[in-house]
Amino acid sequence: MGVFRAMIARTFSAATSRSLRVCVVGSGPAGFYTAEKMLKAHEEAEVDIIDRLPTPFGLVRSGVAPDHPETKIVINQFSRVAHNERCSFFGNVSLGSSVSLSELRQIYHVVVLAYGAESDRVLGIPGEDLSGVHSAREFVWWYNGHPDLSQLAPDLKNTDTAIVLGQGNVALDVARILLRPPAELATTDIASHALAALKESSIRKVYLVGRRGPVQAACTAKELREILAIKDLYVNIKQDDLQITSADEEEMKNSRIRRRVYDLLSKASSSSQTHPSSGQPELHFTFFRKPDKFLESSDKSGHVAGVKFEKTTLKGSGNQIAAGTGQYEDLKCGLVLKSIGYKSIPVDGLPFDHSKGVVPNIRGRVVSSSDVGQPVDGLYVCGWLKRGPTGIIATNLYDAEETVTSISEDIKKKDLTSEFASGREGLLQLLENRKIKVVTFNDWEKIDSEEKRLGSLMGKPREKLTNWKDLLAK
């Protein structure tokens, strides 16, 4: 028996001593595109993708809106990567609490951090802590069944008005989910707790508020077209706000996206009815308003009742900025969703640029903050953690290519595999010692099947499991 074990051990180490052991932290698009390209570029590489959630795919699962199923098709491609024999997915493994960064760097030759941005930018204005004020990320995670936000219970019954701060695609997503007839959402993969709340929602008016003008609105044509097409929706865009300056013309000349978005907004403004009929849902695009403070309700202490805005005007050229005019205006509401940007979370032992909210890097190579500009051996970054929380799923394709190119160049210069790294075996042993239940891709597929099965009973593509206990029980 001892001889047999020794033989197995020898076979094992013989097979792995030539392998490049890579760990990718984060299983969203950045993580999966990185894994895919590493596997392709290095036939000897073994890639382990870890994620703190039991479920893979990051924001493709928890960020993409339930009524955008085509955007989630990329999961098929990511699943094929996970099925590669040189690739493994390990869920419920958290960087920081399950395993430290320095441990990962000992266990793997190469570590790529692709864990995105799980926090929010804050406005830093009075009243931000009032109840009824949420970040769009929290609201999105809530309706998408993210296990961390299943208990959010946003109050959608105390008011008929919601204010969304921001005019990017995430802002449009939350506005659309609030305004679409719940019957239309009932056949999507929206979380049941959210569907139930939306069915009882009294919200009929949504304001999408931007600091600047229609030319600067960050949304894109497809999403704008979609929200404008909601049946029986009254859309309000003030003609005055559509006046453009030569600086605006210049911005549109340089950007096809901006031109097409502006054109859609103009068309919507001129073709809309003059006023809403009673009970008709309303969508207001409000421009040139910067939030100054959140107003507290006099009836419901501690709860938001409105937002005080300062009117703005645009200054400068190229990237025009909003400057306050000293004039103020209040908008009443019972719910505020801040859609002003995500923010990455720093981790022990990781250089971090707090002002930009990213890990300092040169083309994906993490650079030290103490030994300024010097790349940290074997440590790389990809996705939002690398370049900030912007872009689309496809942006990570090119981002991953850049990071993997850097890794490949570095490997050519220094043969990392000459040093032993225990890789997968080392990680699994460590996690077992810590009694951490690892969720494999196979386990995820059981969750996946169960969700699809439950969904089919309700006419939905899937019924998501939304609490940790259920997800870890599989």
Partner 1 sequence: MLASKSLQLGAQAIKGLSRVSHFSKFVAPATITPRKPCVQDGELYSTTATSSADGGNEEKEKISVTFVDKDGEETQIKVPIGMSMLEAAHQNDIELEGACEGSLACSTCHVIVMDVEHYNKLEEPTDEENDMLDLAFGLTETSRLGCQVIAKPELDGLRLALPAATRNFAVDGFKPKPH
What is the C-alpha separation between 92 and 436, in angstroms, rounded? 8
What is the C-alpha separation between 474 and 462, in angstroms, rounded? 16
Containing 332, the helix (H) or strand (E) segment is strand 321-332
Question: Judged by CB, which is closer to partner 1: 168, or 281?
Answer: 168
Q: How many CA atoms lie within 13 A of 54 on its CB side?
A: 26
Per DSSP, the three-state class of 147 is coil
Per DSSP, the three-state class of 318 is coil
63 token code pair: 């960020």
Question: Judged by CB, which is closer to partner 1: 74, or 350?
Answer: 74
At closest approach, how far in Å is the CB of 176 from partner 1? 15
What is the C-alpha separation between 170 and 178, in angstroms, rounded? 12
CB 373 within 8 A of CB 386: no
Residue type, 427: L
At closest approach, how far in Å is the CB of 259 from partner 1? 9
Q: Is the dihedral of CA 50, 417, 41, 367 positive or negative?
A: positive
At closest approach, how far in Å is the CB of 12 from partner 1? 33
Question: Judged by CB, which is closer to partner 1: 358, or 431?
Answer: 358
At closest approach, how far in Å is the CB of 169 from partner 1? 5
At closest approach, how far in Å is the CB of 120 from partner 1? 14
Q: Are strands 304-315 and 110-113 parallel, antiparallel or unpaired?
A: unpaired
Q: DSSP string spanning 412-430?
A: HHS-GGGS---HHHHHHHH
At closest approach, how far in Å is the CB of 417 from partner 1? 27
Question: Judged by CB, which is closer to partner 1: 353, or 450?
Answer: 353
What is the C-alpha separation between 230 and 89, in angstroms, rounded? 39
At closest approach, how far in Å is the CB of 87 from partner 1? 18
Q: 276 to each of 102, 229, 273, how far by Cα in Å?
A: 60, 16, 7
Question: Judged by CB, which is closer to partner 1: 46, or 223?
Answer: 223
CA-closest candidate to residue 467, choices 453, 447, 440, 442: 447
CB 177 within 8 A of CB 198: yes
Question: Judged by CB, which is closer to partner 1: 91, or 116?
Answer: 116
What is the C-alpha separation between 340 and 357, in angstroms, rounded? 14
Please, which residues have CB within 8 angstroms of residue 297's CB and are 6 or more apart in sequence? 303, 304, 305
At closest approach, how far in Å is the CB of 29 from partner 1? 9
At closest approach, how far in Å is the CB of 444 from partner 1? 20
Question: Judged by CB, which is closer to partner 1: 249, or 415?
Answer: 249
CB 242 within 8 A of CB 214: yes
Question: Judged by CB, which is closer to partner 1: 118, or 443?
Answer: 118
What is the C-alpha separation between 98 and 25, in angstroms, rounded? 12
At closest approach, how far in Å is the CB of 18 from partner 1? 27
What is the C-alpha separation between 350 and 353, in angstroms, rounded? 10
Question: Judged by CB, which is closer to partner 1: 156, or 175?
Answer: 175
At closest approach, how far in Å is the CB of 131 from partner 1? 28
What is the C-alpha separation between 65 and 62, in angstroms, rounded? 8
Q: Strand pairing partners for 208?
A: 164, 285
CB 132 within 8 A of CB 155: yes
Question: Judged by CB, which is closer to partner 1: 253, or 414?
Answer: 253
Question: Judged by CB, which is closer to partner 1: 122, or 394?
Answer: 394
CA-closest candidate to residue 28, choices 4, 54, 58, 67: 58
**Residue numbers at the binding site for partner 1 (CB under 8 A):** 68, 70-71, 73-74, 76-77, 168-170, 218-222, 225, 256-257, 260, 319, 353, 356, 358, 363-364, 386-395, 397-399, 401-402
Question: Judged by CB, which is closer to partner 1: 37, or 205?
Answer: 37
At closest approach, how far in Å is the CB of 239 from partner 1? 24
